Structure 1
Amino acid sequence: MKCETAVLVRIFIGENDRYEGKPLYKYMTELCRERGVAGVTVFRGILGYGKSSVVHEQRLLKLSSDLPIVIEVIDCEEKINEVLPELSKLVDSGLITLERVKVIRYN
């Protein structure tokens, strides 16, 4: 990544979301890597809710709770503009946000 100002994409989905039988967060990460995107990080939330207002939380005795997942994708604006349409098509129910960020260091 050779830009001082980048774009940070945040994609909010559920842990149970799938694409072609694979966890959606994993599919998106692999897609971004194949497209040469500078970086992707996936976070698993312990509590959250979205449009439906259904609270999803981690419970000790519950095996599947569809916890919130946040995928952060960062790169120069041009690269994000290339991959964003593909990522957007994969999100049936969820939220995608964009923000400009200043890159301090990328080694």
Structure 2
Amino acid sequence: MQTVVLRFYVSEKQHHQGELLYEWLLRLGQRLELPGGSAFRAIAGFGKHGRLHEETFFELAGELAVAVEFIIDEQSAERLLAAVGAEKIKLNYVSYTVESGTTRI
């Protein structure tokens, strides 16, 4: 089946409407009745400023990225992007078409 992967990249400490942005995105997906969504936390990375961020034992305030991903049909991806846009949030995202399915036992 042809589906779309829609992945947003946010900071793990970014907020919107009083909650963590990655949680807000997942709740938005629930409100739009999407079949599912997941958030994945980075262990290391760097951004446009070139500064490397890594999780360390002593680091308390995280600055790492969280990828929030939905594997959905194209119409659902458009609805989700429109809903995020209506909130006037500037987010980085990628979207690409994939083949998805379930293996048989």
Paired residue for 2:83? 86
Paired residue for 1:49? 46
In the alignment, structure 1 residue 19 sits paired with structure 2 residue 16: yes
Unmatched 5+ residue regions in structure 2? none
- Counterpart contact for 1:13–1:91, Cα < 8 Å: no
Displacement of 1:69 after TM fit? 0.5
Please, what TM-score do these two structures have when normalized by structure 2?
A: 0.86
RMSD, aligned CA: 1.8
Please, what TM-score do these two structures have when normalized by structure 1?
A: 0.85
Identity %: 23
Distance 2:30 2:88 in 1: 16
Displacement of 1:63 after TM fit? 0.5
Helix, strand or coil: the match of 2:28?
helix
Of 49-58 and 4-13, the range deviating more from structure 2: 49-58
CA distances 1:69-93 after superposition (whole Å, capped 9, x unpaired): 011111111111111122345643x
Q: Output aligned runs, 1:1-107, within 5 Å.
A: 4-88=1-85, 89=87, 91-92=89-90, 94-105=91-102
Unmatched 5+ residue regions in structure 1? none
Helix, strand or coil: the match of 2:40?
strand
Task: Go from structure 1 to structure 2 and tell me whether the alpha carbon gap of 1:70 and 1:44 turns closer, same or farther (over 3 Å shift).
Answer: same
- Number of residue pairs the alignment of both structures matches: 102
Task: Go from structure 1 to structure 2 and tell me whether the alpha carbon gap of 1:41 and 1:90 turns closer, same or farther (over 3 Å shift).
Answer: farther
